[in-house]
Every structure is written in structure tokens, then in C-alpha cells.
Structure 1
Amino acid sequence: MSDSTSGKTHVHHHHEGPAAFVAAVEHASEERGLRLTPLRKEVLELIAAAGKPVKAYDLLDQLRERHGNAAPPTVYRALDFLLENGFIHKLESINAFVSCHHPAEAHQVPFLICDICSSAQEVCDERVAELIEAQAKAFGFRPQAQTLEVHGVCKQCRKA
């Protein structure tokens, strides 16, 4: 992790892999007294292994390949649990899901989404959330959810 001079911007490089992420979620679930059922864990593993945003119906297709009888409501219930507990993020603009880089802590983060390869980079900079909160407060607005998605072209696609 490298910090900016303000100490608030964090650029995280996650080389641990999907298994380490799933283990971190299992640990966070135990600490919070949450039940990570086998299906919830399997959906989480599929999202972590994807390495980029994945759509619910792609998850359903993968589950059907493994089990044959997976239904949309079961996938959506698992996704709801994972979202509600901060283990994954939903990218609204592309209707897809990504694993959260910090499953043990509740936070709102912006994402940089590549319109060519569909990669999504979580931007860990608490100043963005603080600025939005301050602006909302100035307008007398109380935010309940925050999603900031910036679309463009990633470094790898720009090189290609």
C-alpha cells in the first residue's frame, strides 16, 4: 500500500488472489456472527475468481454448470447478502458485481471502469467520500447510499 502525502489516499495492490479474499470474508463473517452459507460462499468465490465485474446471469450460468438446478432467486439472495455486508460492490452503470478490497470494513468507494475491457479499479481515497458527505450536509441532504463510477479507458487498453 502506498499513501499520498495527506495520508488519506491509499493505492492497494492485491496480489493475494481469490482464495485469500474468500478467507478474509469468512473471517469477517465469523467476527460479525454472519452465516456464510455454502451457496453464498460459492457465489463469492465466482466473483473473486472472475477478476473483473461479473453479471448475475453469468454467475447463474456458472452455478448451473456445476449444479444444474440453480435459479435466479437463489443467486440474487446470495448477492443481496454479500452486498448488504460489504463483501462485494455493485457497479450500477454496468449492472455487475466485483469483490470488495476491504471486506472487513464498511466504506463507500468510487470505481474507475474501463469501457473496453470492463475492468474496474476500486479507488481507496476517503477524501472523495468526505467531500460528498460535506456537500450533502451543506444542502441539508442525508445520503443513504453512494455510488460513484467513472468510465473511461484503462492504462492497458490505452497501450493496445
Structure 2
Amino acid sequence: MKEKIFSLIVVMMFSLPSYAGLSTGNERDACFKEHKEIADAYNCLYQKRVESDNQLDVLISEISKKIISNYDYPTEKPDSSDETVGSVYNKYFLDSQKAWMTYKKNLCLGVASSIGEAARDYQSYKDQCEINLNKLHIEELHIMDLPPAK
């Protein structure tokens, strides 16, 4: 029994810093340093989150175009006359991005709820978490290293 309790405590100790890390960042720090009014700081961080989302959306769109352009040859399926490898690849790519967006939203809701959903900083925790995950995902997408669209 003592081993289980000890294991639980160790797991909780290591999981808490990771949540704290997702809710903190340069954007949040800059907004709160730059704006005296708390509402203005929250709006600043919200705008930074919107910009981050837009940057990710643009990259996803560019990658989608590259996939369709670079894999424009037909599939080997006899019954799919107008289907290309790119259209199949792109479908899976876009489906994975939708799933990732859901993951991001849900994880950041969890991270923000760690301070209580009624807490004043709830939204700023959520926004910073989404910015941090967007940055990491942008790095992941760059690893695809696709050639430019034809």
C-alpha cells in the first residue's frame, strides 16, 4: 500500500511541472509586462493566440498544396480513376490536423482547469497553452520537409 501511495505522489510531482510549463511562456509574460490593465493583458494574449492559430493554419494550407502538387500521380487502385496519391495523402494529412486541433483544445482546457475554471487566469492559461502547442506542432510540420509545390 505504501508503495502505491509513493508511486502516486511521484507521478503527480512529475506531471504538475509539465502542466505549469504549458501555461507559461514569453507571450503571456510580455502581455502582462506591457499592459497595466489586466483586461488589456488578457486581450493582448488572446490576439497572440489568434496570430499563432493563423500561422499554423497558413502552414497547414501550404503543406496541403505541396502534398497535392508533389504526389499528383494516380494510385494503384484500379477503381479510382481520378484519385491521386496526393489526394489520398492529403485527406489523411488534413484528418490528422483536425484530430490534432481537438487534442490541443482538450489538453489546454485540462491545463487551464488545473487552476479552477472560475479562476481569473483561466483563459490566459488556455491561450498560452495553445500558443505553446502550436509552436511545437509547427516544428513537427516542418520536419515533413516537402519540396515546394510545382
TM-score normalised to the size of structure 2? 0.24
Q: 1 or 2, which has the higher helix percentage?
A: 2
More strand as a share of residues: 1
Q: Give the TM-score of the pair, scaled to structure 1.
A: 0.23
Q: Is the radius of gyration larger for structure 1 or structure 2? A: 2
